[in-house]
Amino acid sequence: MRPLLVALAFFALAPAPASIRAQDRNPPSCPRAEAEQPPSTAFTLTPGVAAGPIPPLAPLSLLGGAESQPAGTDPPPADYRHRLRPTPLGWARLPSWCLWVEPATLTGPSALWEGRWFRAVQAAVDTWSGILPITRVSEPERAQILVERRRPPLQATDGRWRASHGRALLRLRHVQREQLWRLEPEVRVLIGPGQSETALQATALHELGHAIGLWGHSDHGDDAMAATPGPRPTLSLSERDRRTVRWLYQQPTIFGRAEAVLSPAGSRQ
């Protein structure tokens, strides 16, 4: 913990905290989940700094890591679509996303670093919103992407425990919204607060890239989805990032399609 944060912790008698939220209204395009069937499949994803080859894809896990570059790739490919992995049910993307960000308090001892975390996440969301339809909501029940302010738990990789600043966790679920059942990806994005604002933004940009469907890593350090980041934090999308997203969102998928209309009794028609 930084000394400044330790000092601020002495301000224990804080007033009731106000909070800042991503959005204080809930647009009709993001209806609340009314029911859910147990998830059929759970996935985990390794953090963004993974090194080494991707282990074989297990039936119930999706592991993003650095794959070995095919020999003789010069000039480099214009995108990194070949490094992405679909889920067993297809590409985990939606036509549009609803996103919830954990609110930050405006007052009290934690306001400084919570505000910093929130601003960094917002900046990363703004970047992805520039190329994809993302609606921010104030209720997590309306979201498919949930960004939480907490450090990811240690993760065992190649027999060693590794710490990371960010992680994206994907699960697939059948969810009912406005009486329509859909298959949706749900992604929890964990962003640890103990970083500079710039590093937070780079971490959030990378993990949100997984959340919108980029389940894999680039081998170029300048890309937001780089397996091994370059010397400077990546705060914007490269042309390769944009091309890869463009390709991904042209692929067919079953996610997000309405499956059935419910009768009043609740049975499927």
Stretch that binds Zn ion, among 11-19, 41-49, 192-200, 250-258 (CB under 5 A): 41-49
Residue 80's SS3 state is coil
Cα-based torsion angle of the residue sequence 75, 213, 24, 150 in order, rounded to the nearest 10 degrees:
-90
Stretch that binds Zn ion, among 5-13, 42-50, 104-112, 232-240 (CB under 5 A): 42-50
- Per the DSSP assignment, residues forming a β-bridge with 180 are 177, 261
Residue 152's SS3 state is coil
| Least separation in angstroms between CB 121 and Zn ion | 16
Whether the Cβ atoms of residue 215 and residue 92 lie closer than 8 Å to each other: yes
CA 187 to mean position of chain CA atoms: 6
**Dist CA 202 CA 47 (whole Å):** 13
Stretch that binds Zn ion, among 40-48, 75-83, 135-143, 252-260 (CB under 5 A): 40-48
Q: Which is nearer to Zn ion, 155 or 179 (CB)?
A: 155
User: What stretches of the chain show up as alpha helix (H) in DSSP?
Assistant: 3-8, 111-129, 197-211, 239-248
Residue 83's SS3 state is helix
Q: Which is nearer to Zn ion, 84 or 143 (CB)?
A: 84
Q: Which is nearer to Zn ion, 135 or 244 (CB)?
A: 244
Residue 48 CB coordination number (10 Å): 26
Give the closest residue to 225 by CA, choosing from 237, 213, 217. 217
| Least separation in angstroms between CB 267 and Zn ion | 41
The only residue of 48, 65, 192, 213 in contact with Zn ion, by rule CB under 5 A: 48
| Least separation in angstroms between CB 69 and Zn ion | 17
**Dist CA 122 CA 221 (whole Å):** 23
Q: Which is nearer to Zn ion, 91 or 181 (CB)?
A: 91
Q: Does the footprint of Zn ion cover residue 216 (CB under 5 A)?
A: no
Assess whether the previous peptide bond of 185 is cis (omega < 30° from 0): no
Stretch that binds Zn ion, among 47-55, 75-83, 132-140, 146-154 (CB under 5 A): 47-55
Q: What is the full DSSP assignment across 9-22?
A: TT---PPSPPEE-S
Q: Which is nearer to Zn ion, 30 or 62 (CB)?
A: 62
| Least separation in angstroms between CB 224 and Zn ion | 10
Whether the Cβ atoms of residue 163 and residue 30 lie closer than 8 Å to each other: no
| Least separation in angstroms between CB 101 and Zn ion | 19
Q: Which is nearer to Zn ion, 30 or 189 (CB)?
A: 189
| Least separation in angstroms between CB 187 and Zn ion | 12
Stretch that binds Zn ion, among 45-53, 81-89, 99-107, 172-180 (CB under 5 A): 45-53
| Least separation in angstroms between CB 217 and Zn ion | 6
Binding site for Zn ion (CB under 5 A): 48
